[in-house]
């Protein structure tokens, strides 16, 4: 297995401003790298809000699933973008497979950090 997560950064400002186009253009290479490393981390691209994140997600997964069922409290932000589980810091979330209890679970899961942590972030 290669580096986990595999970090992908833009090579110039034009690329930094167009992550959805970058994903579409390099789709086969990205899928291959995802299979090899297990996770991709896009760093340094201009993804500023839920709207731009949804465009990025749809570039890689055109048919995003709805967040249905489950026992985790989440809030719809926009379109098919939701908050992560809204538990307080003192609550523990065990390791799990997202929506594995459904007959149709997602092949890919996209995460976006609007406010990066001051410590211990990736």
| Statement to judge: residues 40 and 69 lie in one domain | no
Domain range enclosing 16: 6-46
Cis peptide before 5 (omega within 30 of 0): yes
pLDDT band for position 9 (cuts 50, 70, 90): very high
Q: If residue 40 lies in a helix (H) or strand (E), which one and from where to where?
A: strand 40-42
Q: What is the pTM of this model?
A: 0.81
For the chain, what is the mean pLDDT? Answer: 86
Q: Distance between CA 96 and CA 23 in Å, rounded?
A: 27
Q: If residue 78 lies in a helix (H) or strand (E), which one and from where to where?
A: strand 76-78
What is the predicted pLDDT for the residue at 120? 75
Q: Indicate the number of domains in the chain.
A: 2
Within a domain: 37 = yes
| Statement to judge: residues 33 and 73 lie in one domain | no
């Amino acid at each position: 297995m290669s580096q986990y997560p595999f970090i992908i950064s833009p090579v110039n400002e034009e690329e930094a401003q167009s992550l959805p186009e970058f994903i579409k253009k390099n789709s086969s290479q990205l899928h291959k790298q995802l299979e090899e490393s297990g996770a991709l981390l896009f760093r340094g691209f201009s993804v500023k809000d839920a709207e731009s994140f949804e465009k990025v997600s749809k570039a890689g997964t055109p048919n995003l699933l709805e967040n249905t069922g489950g026992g985790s409290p989440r809030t719809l932000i926009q379109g098919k973008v939701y908050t992560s589980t809204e538990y307080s810091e003192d609550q523990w979330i065990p390791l799990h497979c997202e929506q594995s209890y459904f007959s149709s679970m997602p092949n890919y899961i996209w995460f976006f950090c609007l406010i990066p942590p001051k410590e211990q972030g990736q």
